[in-house]
Structure 1
Amino acid sequence: MRRTSHEMSTETLSIFFVADGVRLEWQSWLLASSLACAHDGRGDVRLYAYASEGYLPEVHAATRDLYEVCGVELRPLPDTPNWRGDYPHGNKLVAASDRRDGARAIFLDTDMVCAKPLTPMADLPADTVAAAPEGLPTWGKENDRWERAYAHFGLPLPKERLRLLRGRKLEYLPYFNAGFVCFPERPMTHDGKRFADHWLETALDFDHNCAIGNKRPWLDQITLPLTLARFGYATEVLGETWNYSLTRRKDYSQTPDVEILHYHRAAFLEQAPQWPAILEDFWARMPKHHHDHAHACLTEMGLTL
Structure 2
Amino acid sequence: MSFNLIAVVQAGRLEHEAILLAASLRLSDPGFPGTLFLAEPQPGPKWQGDPRISDRTRKVLTGLGAQILPFETRAFGSDYPHGNKIEALAALPEAPFLFLDTDTLVTGPLSAIPFDFSRPSASMRRENTWPKVELYGPTATQTWQALYDRFGLDFASSWDTTQPEDYWQRFLYFNAGWFFHESPRAFGNRFLDFAREIRDAPPEELVCQELYPWLDQIALPLVIHSFGGGRPGPELAALDGAATCHYRTLPLLYAREDDRVVQVLERLGSDPELRPVLRHWGAFKRMVIQGEGARARALFDRADLPRREQMIRNRLKREGLWIR
Fold in common (TM above 0.5): yes
Query: Do structure 1's residue 65 and structure 2's residue 65 form an aligned pair?
Result: no
Aligned equivalent of 2:196: 204
C-alpha spacing 1:133/1:200, structure 2 compared with 1 (3 Å): same
- Among residues 262, 266, 279, which one is paired with 1:279 in the alignment? 266
Aligned equivalent of 2:211: 215
Q: Where is the helix percentage greater, Structure 1 or Structure 2? A: 2
Aligned equivalent of 2:152: 154
- Among residues 125, 141, 145, which one is paired with 2:116 in the alignment? 125
Provide Cα deviations, 1:20-49, integer angstroms capped at 9, x if missing partner: 12111111111111112222133x221111
C-alpha spacing 1:110/1:24, structure 2 compared with 1 (3 Å): same
Query: Do structure 1's residue 35 and structure 2's residue 29 form an aligned pair?
Result: no
Aligned equivalent of 1:249: none
Letter aligned with residue 140 of structure 1: P
C-alpha spacing 1:226/1:301, structure 2 compared with 1 (3 Å): farther
Identify the structure with bigger relative contact order (alpha carbons < 8 Å, sequence gap 6+). Answer: 1
Mean alpha-carbon deviation: is it higher for 91-100 or for 126-135?
A: 126-135
Native 8 Å contact 2:11 2:52 kept in 1: no
- Give the whole-Å Cα distance in 1 for the aligned partners of 2:173 and 2:252: 24
C-alpha spacing 1:161/1:141, structure 2 compared with 1 (3 Å): farther
Deviation at residue 268 of structure 1 after TM alignment: 2.3
Mean alpha-carbon deviation: is it higher for 208-217 or for 104-113?
A: 208-217
Query: Do structure 1's residue 16 and structure 2's residue 6 form an aligned pair?
Result: yes
- Give the whole-Å Cα distance in 2 for the aligned partners of 1:56 and 1:20: 5
Deviation at residue 85 of structure 1 after TM alignment: 9.0
Aligned equivalent of 2:314: none
- Give the whole-Å Cα distance in 2 for the aligned partners of 1:267 and 1:128: 34
Provide Cα deviations, 1:257-284, integer angstroms capped at 9, x if missing partner: 6211121121122344121233314543
- Give the whole-Å Cα distance in 2 for the aligned partners of 1:37 and 1:162: 37
Structure 2: state its 5+ residue gaps: 44-49, 134-138, 290-324
Query: Do structure 1's residue 234 and structure 2's residue 229 form an aligned pair?
Result: yes
Deviation at residue 82 of structure 1 after TM alignment: 2.8
Residue 194 of structure 1 aligns to a residue in which SS?
Answer: helix
- Give the whole-Å Cα distance in 2 for the aligned partners of 1:48 and 1:156: 34
Native 8 Å contact 2:199 2:211 kept in 1: yes
- Give the RMSD, CA atoms, in angstroms: 2.9
Native 8 Å contact 2:108 2:244 kept in 1: yes
Aligned equivalent of 1:47: 36
Letter aligned with residue 127 of structure 1: S
- Percent identity, aligned pairs only, is 23
Native 8 Å contact 1:133 1:238 kept in 2: no
Residue 233 of structure 1 aligns to a residue in which SS?
Answer: coil
- Give the whole-Å Cα distance in 1 for the aligned partners of 2:156 and 2:231: 16
C-alpha spacing 1:85/1:34, structure 2 compared with 1 (3 Å): closer
Q: Where is the strand percentage greater, Structure 1 or Structure 2? A: 1
- Give the whole-Å Cα distance in 2 for the aligned partners of 1:282 and 1:128: 37
Provide Cα deviations, 1:217-259, integer angstroms capped at 9, x if missing partner: 11111111211333x3233515685453xxxxxxxxxxxx621
Native 8 Å contact 2:172 2:221 kept in 1: yes
Native 8 Å contact 2:15 2:53 kept in 1: no
Aligned equivalent of 1:189: none
- Give the whole-Å Cα distance in 2 for the aligned partners of 1:181 and 1:226: 13
Aligned equivalent of 2:250: 266
Provide Cα deviations, 1:105-133, integer angstroms capped at 9, x if missing partner: 11111111110121245x43342112122
Aligned equivalent of 2:91: 98
C-alpha spacing 1:105/1:32, structure 2 compared with 1 (3 Å): same
- Give the whole-Å Cα distance in 2 for the aligned partners of 1:205 and 1:170: 23
- Give the whole-Å Cα distance in 1 for the aligned partners of 2:82 and 2:51: 18
Residue 281 of structure 2 aligns to a residue in which SS?
Answer: helix
Query: Do structure 1's residue 184 and structure 2's residue 182 form an aligned pair?
Result: yes
- Give the whole-Å Cα distance in 2 for the aligned partners of 1:279 and 1:242: 21
Provide Cα deviations, 1:38-78, integer angstroms capped at 9, x if missing partner: 22133x221111222234654241x22321232100121x2
- Give the whole-Å Cα distance in 2 for the aligned partners of 1:130 and 1:120: 17
- Give the whole-Å Cα distance in 1 for the aligned partners of 2:238 and 2:161: 15
Native 8 Å contact 1:132 1:180 kept in 2: yes
Provide Cα deviations, 1:185-231, integer angstroms capped at 9, x if missing partner: 27xxxxxx61222111211122212142211111111111211333x
Letter aligned with residue 81 of structure 2: P
TM-score, structure 2 as length reference: 0.71
In the alignment of these two chains, the number of paired residues is 264
Native 8 Å contact 1:112 1:260 kept in 2: yes
Native 8 Å contact 1:26 1:298 kept in 2: no
Letter aligned with residue 100 of structure 1: P
Residue 197 of structure 1 aligns to a residue in which SS?
Answer: helix
Native 8 Å contact 1:35 1:113 kept in 2: yes
Residue 234 of structure 1 aligns to a residue in which SS?
Answer: coil
Native 8 Å contact 2:117 2:182 kept in 1: yes
Native 8 Å contact 2:158 2:225 kept in 1: no
Letter aligned with residue 279 of structure 1: E
Mean alpha-carbon deviation: is it higher for 22-31 or for 143-152?
A: 143-152
Deviation at residue 93 of structure 1 after TM alignment: 0.7
